[in-house]
Amino acid sequence: MEYQNSAHFALELDAKDELNSFRERFLIPQHNGKDIIYLCGNSLGLQPKAAKQAITDQLDNWHQLAVEGWFDGEEPWLGYHKQLLGPLANIMGALPVEIAVMNSLTINLHLMMVSFYKPTQQRYKIIMEGGAFPSDQYAMESQVRFHGFDLEEAVIELFPREGEVTLRTEDILTAIEQNADKLALVMFSGINYYTGQFFDMEAITKAGHAAGAMVGFDLAHAAGNVPLKLHDIGADFACWCSYKYMNSGPGGISGIFVHEKHHQNRELNRFAGWWGYRNDTRFKMTPGFVPENGAEGWQVSTSPILLMAAHKASLELFEEAGSVAALRKKSIALTGYLEYLINGINAEQGEQIFKIITPKESSARGAQLSIICKRNGKAIFDHLLANGVLGDWREPDVIRLSAVPFYNSFTDVYEAAKHLAEAARLVK
């Protein structure tokens, strides 16, 4: 696409956008009586208008049915979670039986590692990207120490080459091969939260399995953002949150993927709970854990219906959009336009005042662009905020901007870049 730096061009793109009506399905915060330019969906997605009614419906069921709501009404709570499995399977590239909706992201990561991190004296190492979100780092640290291993010895963090800001796929694959004899787990993000790099999950999975290791992914920044193929690539497990690109509310319910090849493996450890017991005999309350078939057998606690109601309201929008691929097409165009406009600001300034550290190739990034500010970064971010542009600030010098195809427009991107250009001129 040949981009142009003009409001008219942005409006033309918006007029041609087949997904532009979805913007009206979200509640957008206001700034001085106008819609805020919200470019922070990588941290918290906007609220679908349908979420309030979805939660209210379940509050009404609680009111009218009380405990019988688990069994009666139009949407009995006992099976409520099953309504989410099909839409999530489409988003994750999985079979419905490989999905479970439960808990929060880091809790799920720990539960998955109970099953899939089984270190021995020979095989105990974990490979992950350096600079992963701190929660992942803490989880790896606590897991290896729980099993009696030294953090420095057991966790291998991979960093970009000197002078580079993102990891090369070949370096990841080489590190996996070089540690094959001691490797127990390859644990990567789908998309790195800081740089926005979209890792080659298929190549990583293939290399991890060739090394004899299990392979898992944290998809916090990938779920609902980029097309995924968890079943086809053969990943062993994955976890995600729902409050970023899946717009399901702050601290919303999370989920897991467990590949069907593991469903009948009774040698896998798991921390069990009543909600993961086989459905047809759960209420007999017998001793001895017998898991439900599929990923649901990893469930532990009772479904939080109000959180699931908010999640369902958002997932219905994904179903209406047709596919993540349709959203992805617009996302690539939005992010490409933002990149074009930022490059134009640098040209105007006669220097690279804003350095984009997210990969240039659309296949290697999602909706987010991470931008290093050469100078006065926090002041520039504050200027954006004062003018109704809300992105995300990361110390010491990075602004993250994420144009979400559900509710962001090309005009949003144009206006955000205009204020970024103003900041570059005004902030000294």
Q: Where does 173-297 show beta strands of DSSP type E?
A: 183-189, 214-218, 237-240, 255-258
- Architecture in CATH for domain 55-321: 3-Layer(aba) Sandwich (3.40)
Contacts (Cβ under 8 Å, ≥6 apart) of 354? 342, 345, 346, 371, 372, 373, 374, 420, 424
**pLDDT surpasses 90 at 323:** no
| Number of other residues whose CB lies within 10 A of the CB of residue 280 | 8
Q: Judge whether residue 397 has pLDDT over 70.
A: yes
Residue whose tokens read 């644990």:
187
Distances (CA, A) of 353 to 88, 347, 385: 40, 9, 19
Residue extents of the structural domains in the chain: 7-35+323-426, 55-321
- pLDDT recorded at residue 18: 96
Picking from 403, 420, 428, the residue whose alpha carbon sits closest to that of residue 17 is 403
Quick check: 125 pLDDT over 80? yes
**In the predicted model, what is the mean pLDDT of residues 297-321?**
97
**CA atoms 270, 232, 154, 135: torsion sign:** negative
> What 8-state DSSP symbol labels residue 152?
H
Tokens of 346: 């640098």
Q: Which CATH number fits domain 7-35+323-426: 3.30.1300.10, 3.40.50.970, 3.90.1150.10, 3.30.1490.70?
A: 3.90.1150.10
370, 196 in Cβ contact below 8 A?
Answer: yes
Tokens of 359: 């990969």
Asked whether 384 and 391 are in contact (CB, 8 A), the reply is yes
b/e sequence 72-106, b meaning 16+ C-beta within 10 Å: ebebebbebbebbbebbbbbbbbbbbbbbbbbbbb
- What does the pLDDT average to over 289-316? 97
Confidence (pTM): 0.96
The predicted pLDDT at position 55 comes to 98
Q: What is the pLDDT of residue 427?
A: 75
User: Is the pLDDT score of 426 beyond 90?
Assistant: no
Tell whether the model's pLDDT for residue 128 goes beyond 70. Answer: yes
User: Is pLDDT of 428 > 90?
Assistant: no
CA pair distance 66, 59, nearest whole angstrom: 10
Per residue in 220-237, pLDDT tens? 999 999 999 999 999 999
Residue pLDDT, tens place only, 154-167 = 999 999 999 999 99
**CA pair distance 411, 149, nearest whole angstrom:** 53
Amino acid at residue number 329: K
pLDDT in tens, 30-82: 999 999 999 999 999 999 999 999 999 999 999 999 999 999 999 999 999 99
Mean pLDDT confidence for 417-421: 97
DSSP 65: H
Angle between helices 50-65 and 305-321 (to 10 degrees): 140
Average pLDDT over residues 367-375: 96
Residue 28: pLDDT band (50, 70, 90) is: very high
pLDDT greater than 80 at residue 214: yes
- Count each helix (H run) and each strand (E run) in the chain, helices first: 13, 17
Whether 1 has a pLDDT exceeding 90, the answer reads no
Distance of CA 108 to the CA centre of its chain: 14
pLDDT for the residue numbered 266: 86
Instruction: List the end-to-end C-alpha distance of the chain, in Å, as a whole number.
Output: 34
Amino acid at 92: M
Contact 327, 405 (CB under 8 A): yes
Cis before 396? omega within 30: yes
CA–CA distance, 112 with 126 (Å, rounded to integer): 14
* DSSP secondary structure letters along 69-135: GGTSSSS-GGGTTHHHHHHHHHHHT--GGGEEE-S-HHHHHHHHHHHH----SSS-EEEEETT--HH
Is the confidence at residue 194, as pLDDT, over 80? yes
